[in-house]
């Protein structure tokens, strides 16, 4: 093949459920990618799998797949690559296969890529000298081992490439790097080698640009007033050539915008060092990239350079870290800010009087500048939203705090409203622990259904 079109119809679990359908119908795609996972998502899926061995994947994908089956019937060449498998790619793949069979598409091969889940062998890894130290603090994982709920390495594109080579039309992975969902199809379609660093870097840049869905096609754009019909925003397409040059575009007639600004903003999104963007497939250099507006809603991206892939893989670990809650009240009328701050102090004072010194607290007056402290301060707004958040290792302490909101209605300053939703719910906290591990201990595994 000389060119392939890869469209991403999902940037996170909870994204627009109609976007994949519209993109598959209108995008003239070879591949549809769906990116569901974030660090928090993995811990949620891990707990779901603990409760039910057949759960632990992004269930939205199955609903999307069921709606896609008429399109798959009309477009037999369309392939789907997704990390919806989360903590349980095999179970997700089995459910996906059942949907295809039910819709008369039993000949469409489904593959599950696993190997990212390190939790079952975590103690053996630690005993073998892989300390999985926290990248930010240097602390050893052993200090919180008993509280770990998930540990997943970011795999690269190799499992996706192998699955496509074996005829898979739908590839379902666990935690692979977001951009690898694009790198895999490009490697397979063009026969790129695993050490073709410049082309792998180009595909990584393409994957990074489309991985967050509509962010590159008008969402979050600084000149948002110029993004026509954001309600009908088009999700992005990477039109990639065999030499690695590619265009970012969106379906004709859709809303939003693709231009030098939207692409530049997404190019730098969540990138620490643009010259050394570490992925499992390559270290991508975005500083050499050239952007050119070549047509309406079409930006050409070329001259990406890359360095050899790192010897280590990032590991996303989640562990139990106590409990938290956050409640809000609207405070209206004269001196709204002063009244809100007093109400926040009263809440915490009453919890202390009940015998609980909370580990972490935050009192904010939204509308008075607290959301962006130091940037803008409202002098005397007629109303503010009081938001008080707390965190503690003791559930009882947080529950007692939640019970103190309602009394403010009659025992606090005047102007309190917005209290009809009841007590704020107490939630368990999962903290994030980033680490590195030798890539040799994380080989991918492939199961073809």
DSSP-based helix, strand, coil % in the chain, nearest 5? 35, 25, 40
Q: In what order do the strands lie in the sheet with 283-285?
A: 277-278, 283-285, 305-307
242-266 average pLDDT score: 97
Helix (H) or strand (E) holding 101: helix 89-102
- CA distances from residue 127 to 122, 145, 254 in whole angstroms, order as listed: 9, 12, 54
- CA distances from residue 204 to 76, 198, 210 in whole angstroms, order as listed: 26, 10, 10
Over pLDDT 70: what percentage of the chain? 99
* 314's tokens: 């990032």
**400-433, pLDDT tens digit by residue?**
999 998 899 899 999 998 876 789 999 999 999 9
pLDDT at 135: 97
**116-139, pLDDT tens digit by residue?**
999 999 999 999 999 999 999 999
98-116 average pLDDT score: 97
Q: How far apart are CA 215 and CA 15, in angstroms?
A: 12
Structural domains of the chain, ranges and CATH numbers in brackets: 3-116+154-310 (no CATH), 322-432 (3.30.70.1130)
Q: Of 185-199, 288-302, 346-360, 365-379, where does mean pLDDT reach its minimum?
A: 365-379
pLDDT at 5: 98
Q: How far apart are CA 395 and CA 41, in angstroms?
A: 22
Residue 370 has pLDDT above 90, yes or no: no
More confident: 354 or 46: 354
Q: In what order do the strands lie in the sheet with 110-114?
A: 290-295, 298-302, 246-249, 237-241, 3-8, 31-34, 79-82, 170-173, 110-114, 445-448
pLDDT category at 172 given cuts 50, 70, 90 is very high
* pTM, two decimal places: 0.94
pLDDT at 378: 65
Q: How many CB atoms lie within 10 A of CB 311?
A: 9
């Amino acid at each position: 093949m000389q060119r392939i079109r890869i469209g991403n119809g999902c940037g996170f679990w909870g994204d627009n459920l109609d976007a994949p359908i519209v993109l598959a119908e209108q995008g003239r795609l070879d591949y549809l990618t769906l990116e569901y996972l974030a660090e928090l998502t993995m811990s949620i899926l891990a707990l779901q799998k603990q409760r039910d061995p057949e759960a632990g994947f992004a269930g939205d994908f199955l609903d999307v797949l069921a709606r896609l089956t008429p399109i798959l019937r009309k477009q037999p060449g369309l392939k789907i690559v997704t990390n919806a498998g989360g903590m349980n790619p095999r179970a997700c793949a089995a459910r996906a296969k059942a949907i295809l069979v039910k819709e008369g598409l039993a000949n469409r091969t489904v593959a599950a890529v696993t190997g990212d889940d390190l939790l079952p062998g975590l103690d053996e890894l630690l005993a073998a000298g892989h300390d999985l130290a926290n990248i930010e603090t240097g602390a050893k994982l052993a200090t919180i081992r008993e509280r770990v709920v998930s540990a997943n390495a970011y795999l690269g594109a190799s499992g996706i490439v192998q699955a496509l080579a074996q005829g898979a039309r739908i590839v379902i992975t666990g935690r692979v790097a977001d951009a690898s969902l694009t790198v895999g199809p490009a490697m397979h379609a063009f026969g790129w080698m695993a050490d073709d660093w410049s082309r792998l870097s180009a595909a990584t840049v393409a994957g990074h640009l489309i991985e967050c869905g509509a962010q590159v096609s008008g969402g979050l754009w600084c000149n948002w007033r110029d993004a026509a019909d954001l309600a009908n925003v088009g999700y992005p397409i990477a039109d990639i050539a065999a030499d690695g040059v590619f265009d970012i575009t969106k379906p004709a007639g859709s809303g939003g915008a693709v231009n030098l600004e939207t692409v530049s903003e997404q190019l730098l999104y969540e990138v620490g060092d643009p010259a050394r963007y570490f992925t499992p497939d390559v270290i991508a250099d975005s500083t050499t990239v050239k952007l050119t507006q070549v047509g309406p809603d079409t930006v050409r991206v070329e001259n990406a350079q890359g360095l050899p892939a790192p010897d280590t893989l990032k590991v996303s670990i989640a562990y139990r870290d106590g409990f938290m809650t956050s409640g809000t009240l609207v405070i209206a009328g004269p001196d709204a800010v002063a009244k809100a701050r007093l109400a926040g102090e009263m809440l915490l004072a009453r919890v202390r009087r009940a015998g609980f010194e909370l580990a972490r607290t935050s009192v904010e007056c939204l509308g008075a500048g607290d959301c962006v402290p130091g940037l803008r301060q409202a002098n005397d707004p007629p109303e503010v939203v009081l938001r008080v958040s707390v965190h503690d290792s003791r559930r009882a302490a947080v529950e007692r705090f939640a019970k103190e909101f309602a009394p403010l209605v009659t025992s606090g300053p005047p102007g309190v409203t917005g209290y009809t939703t009841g007590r704020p719910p107490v939630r368990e906290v999962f903290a994030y622990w980033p680490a590195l591990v030798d890539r040799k201990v994380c080989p991918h595994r492939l199961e073809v259904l």
